[in-house]
A = this chain, B = another copy of it.
Amino acid sequence: MRFFTLTLLLLVGVSMHSQVTQPVEDSLNIRKFYDVSLLHGKSYEWLDHLSNKIGGRLSGSVNAERAVRYTREQLEQLELDKVWLQPVRVPKWTRGIQEYAYIQVEGGNTTVVNIAALGGSEPTPRTGLRAQVIEVQGVEDLQNYPREMIEGKIVFYNKAMEPDLIDPFDAYDRSLNQRYHGAVQAAKYGAVGVIVRSATHRIHDQPHTGTVDYGDLPQDERIPAAAISTRDANYLSGLLSLNRGTSLYMKMNSQNHGEVDSHNVIAEIQGSEFPDEVILIGAHLDSWDLGDGAHDNGAGVVQAMEVLRLFLKAGIQPKRTIRVVLFMNGENGLRGAEKYAREAQGRNEQHIFALESDAGGFSPRGFSLEATDQQLERILQWKPLFEPYLIHYFGRGGSGADLEPLKDSKIVLAGLKTDSQRYFDYHHAATDTFDQVNQRELELGAATMASLVYLVDRYGFSEENKI
């Protein structure tokens, strides 16, 4: 009974705001996605399993393979048209069981600080590494120092994420360089190690990891690199301002193990009219190892799976093929995404649209889009259909790292835009756990994704297909 009331409200809303009349069927079908997701959703249960029964699932780990098996099994139970694994070679890196650092000031007082090896980091020598510390504000600040001030020291990159940027992803992007390229740049100046301020606005005790890239630096010149918690970064910076003789001892036995076998997990509903046109929904299945990867990117994984399930439960047969790809190695190499794109090109598959959720399982706000003016205009025509669900954002912006290799002149790429002010409280840290994901927010995201996929499937992007 209430269903019809809501639907009527929805239709009124649409006719008031839209210049183009939307078919009633579209509002009804979109309402179905939200109803099924909120009343009979499966995404939260799947995420509970991925997070609490499996946990952190770094590429090459046993847990990553358990996640491959679990998601394949769950997708097979949905009775889709096709579920398969695509082999991928991935780098394997392990954190090791020793990860330890303390600060020593002149006079001998020591304070333990919280660090975590950056992903891919070389270990320290077995007896650890002790050196004086020099603080710099980002990679670009290195050039302000003569080599002799850096040589033999541990470089402490302490550039903070800027709080005045409204979108935390902008602040993250601007802080990324010191984590990603900091070690290779510091090594060129003769530094013996690197610690990097964690990329989070929050002042807390958790180090936030992430990839360090040594580029083509020879093996014997690679120096160990760790993230330090923001609270300890502030403490260390304060000490250094008082006493430049402060030294740091760090010990890590992380290890690179070369490449191992892993898989992308792929599942699809085949299109009834244009089975050769593929709409892809992607998410990376791997995660960092410190937390359980609930927001990054367990949420995206279960939302992608849920989109297929919502089509089935809502009884909507797509005209085009809707394919979910759970990419392996989204965090530290994008090997799964590259392999998928390469093979898709080899098979001459036509991907018209790809959507990724990789901004946490928070309230959906809309979509960031990589599209031509004409394609964007088409999508904006659908905006009124989303208003009853408080989805307002349809702007240009990056989609998701795993979709980049698919980019060509025809495909439209999209990323689910979430309310991401809290995202970097959890990102790549031990705080990224299931209990920080809100069930409703996760479910609303899945339904929002299904709705856009539905409209793309129904109307496509070619000229003659306008509503």
Contacts and interface: CB of A to CB of B under 8 A. Distances in A.
Given A201-B440, A440-B201, A390 B422 contact: no
Interface in A111-130: none
Contacts of A97: none
Interface string A193-213: 000000001100000000000
A425 interface: yes
A167 B39 contact: no
A177 interface: no
Nearest to A13: B395
A175 interface: no
B393 A393 contact: no
Contact of A35 (B39, B164, B390, B440): B164
A444 B164 contact: no
Interface in A34-84: 34-35, 38-39
B167 A390 contact: yes
A444 B164 CA distance: 10
Nearest to A388: B166
Given A34-B164, A388-B166, A393-B392, A363 B419 contact: yes
A166 B391 CA distance: 11
Nearest to A170: B6
A405 interface: no
Contact of A421 (B162, B392, B393, B441): B441
A166 B422 contact: no
B421 A363 contact: yes
Contact of A392 (B363, B388, B389, B392): B392
Given A363-B419, A421-B363, A421-B438, A444 B166 contact: yes
A202 B44 CA distance: 13
Total copies of this chain within the assembly:
2
Contacts of A201: 439-440
Interface string A405-437: 000000000000001011001000000000000
Q: Which of A34, A201, A390, A441 has the most CB of B within 10 A?
A: A390
A168 B444 CA distance: 12
A34 B422 contact: no
Contacts of A35: 164
A365 interface: yes
A281 B38 CA distance: 35
Contacts of A202: 439
Contacts of A168: 440
A294 to B, nearest CB: 15
Nearest to A392: B392
A168 B443 CA distance: 14
B422 A438 contact: yes
B421 A163 contact: no
A390 B444 CA distance: 19
Contacts of A163: 38-39, 440
Interface string A233-255: 00000000000000000000000
Contacts of A6: 165
Interface string A165-196: 11110000000000000000000000000000
A425 B392 CA distance: 24
Contact of A425 (B388, B438, B444): B438
Interface string A4-38: 00100000000000000000000000000011001
A6 to B, nearest CB: 8
A392 to B, nearest CB: 4
A419 B419 contact: yes
Contacts of A164: 34-35, 38-39
A128 to B, nearest CB: 35
Nearest to A438: B422
Contacts of A365: 390
Given A167-B390, A421-B438, A425-B438, 8 more contacts: A2-B162, A34-B164, A38-B164, A39-B164, A166-B390, A202-B439, A421-B440, A421-B441
Interface of A: 2, 6, 34-35, 38-39, 162-168, 201-202, 363, 365, 388-390, 392-393, 419, 421-422, 425, 438-441, 444
- What 3 pairs across the A-B complex have the smallest Cβ distances? A392-B392, A38-B163, A421-B440
25 contacts: A6-B165, A34-B164, A34-B166, A35-B164, A38-B163, A38-B164, A39-B163, A39-B164, A163-B440, A167-B390, A201-B439, A201-B440, A202-B439, A365-B390, A390-B393, A392-B392, A392-B393, A419-B419, A421-B438, A421-B440, A421-B441, A421-B444, A422-B438, A422-B441, A425-B438
